[in-house]
């Protein structure tokens, strides 16, 4: 980073003196003003969605609204004829989906997990910082509850939060029994603070917590009875014509064919939507995070909550460009790294809530105190070498092997050089409304994990999502066991109704949804052979030519 020589020297010169400096404080009214002026959620770019269950009521960014209003990629004439029967169809092979599949494995029900890419190609695998659970001696579920609700601006669904915090310890025990190695000290689990936690509460596996959790879940599922369909994306849910979900139409991306599945219960565990790159933000999310579950549930008539709120994680990488948007975990700040503007000054309490820290970074850059790279990207410094100064030499190498590996590839050593960071689109705070058993408003359809909304209010705390996917993934599995119904007819009645409603609204965009892949990836949905189409129907011509394509999907692991 020769281009930043003067600033790096200044940061180094003030490091010792900053070590004992207390963080800048801000009262709640100043924090509200900060959010209103600088947080991307407050830019007033939302509009009402015009078609669907909450038409005229649900407000969200126009990029999301267009997705919800979009037509299905299925042709106008398509009779779903099941070629596969299962008891439970789990859509999404990340943490929530696999936690549910494992919970179901001794129930006697046949479980099929269909996932867009490979099992484990998911945000879960990318999680770094850790998982919250009130297991410390001076902690309690009640305290965890209070932190979560304050962090979520009081908009969390209280009953969901209560279950989250009460079932945290059993979730950790379950993961440990499956083989997850959480960091320990001689006193028990090693606990780190996180933004908005009133006491250290975050368990971790160095800075690769999600990789470790996913390793264990994936192994357990691979050795269990569930049928796994990799490279199978849900493009539509099916229903019995009377409001109950009874299956799904999947797209097999290798055979380029549609597969209709009849299921007695369907679990949506499709994760988030960072790859929509809302408002032009870079993202920390994996390739498959295109908000598909929102679209699928919406067309079945499910309500969506808090969809006007997204989490822009404060510290996405800015330099080098090749890893722009990738995450620098919040643990770096919880272990002592400070944020500094181009003048070398601290400007926010680094362990304040994520939305405040993100807004403060955007403010610094907007008001001319940001750092500009040779390519014109902007950010602020995260002074990571302070971690070793504060916690002891070698801490960074020991606790953050993922970060060291990622940056050293580009000649940057976070233990001696600060990193340049800017907010990155990270987490979908809102999503499909669920009850305490992870049931949606549609019979036969459950949802768990990042695809759901309500639990985190409008701002999620670090470590609460990994906890969410285990607690509610397992709850979904248990609820399905108790409530599963007999097999029903498999129709596209909900889609037909949605299409009729679309015809009554003018000026809708021509895009199709679910999107399945980010537009930047060049990957797309196309069929080898189009199924029956009405004469003149051109639904598929927009998706690509029939007869296949020579395009090879990029390896989603190669960028990590
Ligand atoms: C870089 C990063 C770091 C993070 N760090 C932390 C952390 O330290 N602590 C924490 O609590 N949280 C963290 N999070 C958030 C957390 O990891 C996720 O919110 C959580 O793991 C989501 O789990 P999930 O099972 O709901 O979704 P995912 O794990 O994303 O799984 C969803 C799966 O569904 C598949 N899918 C999507 N659409 C379809 C479709 N149409 N058909 C079939 N399959 C589909 C996807 O390909 C994917 O396999 C982090 C997130 C990221 C991106």
The set of catalytic residues is 354
Last residue of a domain, one of 451, 475, 495: 495
Whether the bond into 442 is cis, omega within 30 of 0 = no
Ligand 1 pocket, 64 CB below 6 A?
no
For residue 204, the ligand 1 atom closest to its alpha carbon is 8
Ligand 1 pocket, 428 CB below 6 A?
no
Task: Tell me if 135 is assigned to some domain.
Answer: yes
Looking at the structure, tell me whether residues 143 and 237 fall in a common domain: yes
Looking at the structure, tell me whether residues 135 and 248 fall in a common domain: yes
Looking at the structure, tell me whether residues 270 and 397 fall in a common domain: no
Looking at the structure, tell me whether residues 351 and 220 fall in a common domain: no
Ligand 1 pocket, 91 CB below 6 A?
yes
Q: Which of 190, 180, 189, 183 is nearest to 214 (CA)?
A: 180
Looking at the structure, tell me whether residues 420 and 441 fall in a common domain: no
Write out pLDDT tens, residues 349-371.
Answer: 999 999 999 999 999 999 999 99
Q: How far apart are alpha carbons 496 and 560 in whole angstroms?
A: 41
Ligand 1 pocket, 414 CB below 6 A?
no
> In this model, does residue 56 exceed pLDDT 50?
yes
**Best probe residue, ligand 1, of 203, 313, 466 (max atoms within 8 Å of C-beta):** 466
Task: Note whether 452 and 472 are within 8 A (CB).
Answer: yes
Looking at the structure, tell me whether residues 184 and 199 fall in a common domain: yes
Ligand 1 pocket, 539 CB below 6 A?
no
Mean pLDDT, range 172-198, rounded to an integer: 96
Tell me the C-alpha to C-alpha distance, in Å, between residue 530 and each of 157, 256, 341, 415. 44, 10, 55, 55
Looking at the structure, tell me whether residues 87 and 110 fall in a common domain: yes
Task: Note whether 34 and 359 are within 8 A (CB).
Answer: yes
Q: Is 132 helix (H, G, I), strand (E, B) or coil?
A: strand
Ligand 1 pocket, 129 CB below 6 A?
yes
> In this model, does residue 549 exceed pLDDT 50?
no
Strands (E), 124-210: 131-132, 184-185, 188-189, 202-203
Looking at the structure, tell me whether residues 206 and 289 fall in a common domain: yes
Looking at the structure, tell me whether residues 263 and 371 fall in a common domain: no
Ligand 1 pocket, 164 CB below 6 A?
no
Mean pLDDT, range 59-78, rounded to an integer: 95
Task: Tell me if 480 is assigned to some domain.
Answer: yes
**Best probe residue, ligand 1, of 122, 273, 313, 354 (max atoms within 8 Å of C-beta):** 122
Q: How far apart are alpha carbons 174 and 95 in whole angstroms?
A: 13
Mean pLDDT, range 466-470, rounded to an integer: 98
Ligand 1 pocket, 270 CB below 6 A?
yes
Mean pLDDT, range 247-252, rounded to an integer: 98
Looking at the structure, tell me whether residues 418 and 434 fall in a common domain: no
More confident call, 472 vs 532? 472
How many whole angstroms from 126 Cα to the centroid of ligand 1? 8
pLDDT score for 531: 60
Task: Note whether 425 and 277 are within 8 A (CB).
Answer: yes
Task: Tell me if 293 is assigned to some domain.
Answer: yes
Ligand 1 pocket, 94 CB below 6 A?
yes
**What confidence tier does 530 reach under pLDDT thresholds 50, 70, 90?**
low
105 CB-side CA count, 13 A: 18
Mean pLDDT, range 133-161, rounded to an integer: 97
Percent of the chain with pLDDT over 70: 94
Ligand 1 pocket, 253 CB below 6 A?
no
How many whole angstroms from 269 Cα to the centroid of ligand 1? 9
pLDDT score for 298: 98
Write out pLDDT tens, residues 385-429.
Answer: 999 999 999 999 999 999 999 999 999 999 999 999 999 999 999
pTM: 0.93
* DSSP H or E run through 81: none
Percent of the chain with pLDDT over 90: 91
How many whole angstroms from 516 Cα to the centroid of ligand 1? 14
* CATH number of the domain enclosing 299: 3.50.50.60
For residue 289, the ligand 1 atom closest to its alpha carbon is 37
How many whole angstroms from 277 Cα to the centroid of ligand 1? 15
> In this model, does residue 13 exceed pLDDT 90?
yes
- Determine the straight-line distance between the first and last CA of the chain, rounded to whole angstroms: 21
How many whole angstroms from 486 Cα to the centroid of ligand 1? 31
**Best probe residue, ligand 1, of 72, 94, 112, 233 (max atoms within 8 Å of C-beta):** 94
If you average pLDDT over every residue of the chain, what do you get? 93
> In this model, does residue 542 exceed pLDDT 90?
no
Q: How far apart are alpha carbons 96 and 467 in whole angstroms?
A: 10
How many whole angstroms from 27 Cα to the centroid of ligand 1? 33
Write out pLDDT tens, residues 426-450.
Answer: 999 999 999 999 999 999 999 999 9
pLDDT score for 355: 94
Mean pLDDT, range 516-532, rounded to an integer: 82
Nearest 10 degrees: CA dihedral of 4, 10, 16, 20? -90
pLDDT score for 469: 98
Ligand 1 pocket, 454 CB below 6 A?
no
Residue 234 structural domain: 48-309+429-495
Task: Tell me if 418 is assigned to some domain.
Answer: yes
**Best probe residue, ligand 1, of 67, 208, 270 (max atoms within 8 Å of C-beta):** 270
Ligand 1 pocket, 463 CB below 6 A?
yes
How many whole angstroms from 479 Cα to the centroid of ligand 1? 22
Last residue of a domain, one of 472, 495, 518: 495
Task: Note whether 380 and 365 are within 8 A (CB).
Answer: yes
How many whole angstroms from 441 Cα to the centroid of ligand 1? 23
Q: How far apart are alpha carbons 259 and 254 in whole angstroms?
A: 12
Looking at the structure, tell me whether residues 302 and 337 fall in a common domain: no
Please give the backbone phi and psi of residue 101, each rounded to the nearest 5 degrees, phi first: -60, -40
User: Residue with the nearest Cα to atom 21 of ligand 1?
Assistant: 124
Domain count, the chain: 2
Last residue of a domain, one of 424, 448, 477: 424
Task: Tell me if 342 is assigned to some domain.
Answer: yes
Mean pLDDT, range 339-355, rounded to an integer: 95
Write out pLDDT tens, residues 257-313.
Answer: 999 999 999 999 999 999 999 999 999 999 999 999 999 999 999 999 999 999 999
**What confidence tier does 560 reach under pLDDT thresholds 50, 70, 90?**
very low
**What confidence tier does 348 reach under pLDDT thresholds 50, 70, 90?**
very high
């Amino acid at each position: 980073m020769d281009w930043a020589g003067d600033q790096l020297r200044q940061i180094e010169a003030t490091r010792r003196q900053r070590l004992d400096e207390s963080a800048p404080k801000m009262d709640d009214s100043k924090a509200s003003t900060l959010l209103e002026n600088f947080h991307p959620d407050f830019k007033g770019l939302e509009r009402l969605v015009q078609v669907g269950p909450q038409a005229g009521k649900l407000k969200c960014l126009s990029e999301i609204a267009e997705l919800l209003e979009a037509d299905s990629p299925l042709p106008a004439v398509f009779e779903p004829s099941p070629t596969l029967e299962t008891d439970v169809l789990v859509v999404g092979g990340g943490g929530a989906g696999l936690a549910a599949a494992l919970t179901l494995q001794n129930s006697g029900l046949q479980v099929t997990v269909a996932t867009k890419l490979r099992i484990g190609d998911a945000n879960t695998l990318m999680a770094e910082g850790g998982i919250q659970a009130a297991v410390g001696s001076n902690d309690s579920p009640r305290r965890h509850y209070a932190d979560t609700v304050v962090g979520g601006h009081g908009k969390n669904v209280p009953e969901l939060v209560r279950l989250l915090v009460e079932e945290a310890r059993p979730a950790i025990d379950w993961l440990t029994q499956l083989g997850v190695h959480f960091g320990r000290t001689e006193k028990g689990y090693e606990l780190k603070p996180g933004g908005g936690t009133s006491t250290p509460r975050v368990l971790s596996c160095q800075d690769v917590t999600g990789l470790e959790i996913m390793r264990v879940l994936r192994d357990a599922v691979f050795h269990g009875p569930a049928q796994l369909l990799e490279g199978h994306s849900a493009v539509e849910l099916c229903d019995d014509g009377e409001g109950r979900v009874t299956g799904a139409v999947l797209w097999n991306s290798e055979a380029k064919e549609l597969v209709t599945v009849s299921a007695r219960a369907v679990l949506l565990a499709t994760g988030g939507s960072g790859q929509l790159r809302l408002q032009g933000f870079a993202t920390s999310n994996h390739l498959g995070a295109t908000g598909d579950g929102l679209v699928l549930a919406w067309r079945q008539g499910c309500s969506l909550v808090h969809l006007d709120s997204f989490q822009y994680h404060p510290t996405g990488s800015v330099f080098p460009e090749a890893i722009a948007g990738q995450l620098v975990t919040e643990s770096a700040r919880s272990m002592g790294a400070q944020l500094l503007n181009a003048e070398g000054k601290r400007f926010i309490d680094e362990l304040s809530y994520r939305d405040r820290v993100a807004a403060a970074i955007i403010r610094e850059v907007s008001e001319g105190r940001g750092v500009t790279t040779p390519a014109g990207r902007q950010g602020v410094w995260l002074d990571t070498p302070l971690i070793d100064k504060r916690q002891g030499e070698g801490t960074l190498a020991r606790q953050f092997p993922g970060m060291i590996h990622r940056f050293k590839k580009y000649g940057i050593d976070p233990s001696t050089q600060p990193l340049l960071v800017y907010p990155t689109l990270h987490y979908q705070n809102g999503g499909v409304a669920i009850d305490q058993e992870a049931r949606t408003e549609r019979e036969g359809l459950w949802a768990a994990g990042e695809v759901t909304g309500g639990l985190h209010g409008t701002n999620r705390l670090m470590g609460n999502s990994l906890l969410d996917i285990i607690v509610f993934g397992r709850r979904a599995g248990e609820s399905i066991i108790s409530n599963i119904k007999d097999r029903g007819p498999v129709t596209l009645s909900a889609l037909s109704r949605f299409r009729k409603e679309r015809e009554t609204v003018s000026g809708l965009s021509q895009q199709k949804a679910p999107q399945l892949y980010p537009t930047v990836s060049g990957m797309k949905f196309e069929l080898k052979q189009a199924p029956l189409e009405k004469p003149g129907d051109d639904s598929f011509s927009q998706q690509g030519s029939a007869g296949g394509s020579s395009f090879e999907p990029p390896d989603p692991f190669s960028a990590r």
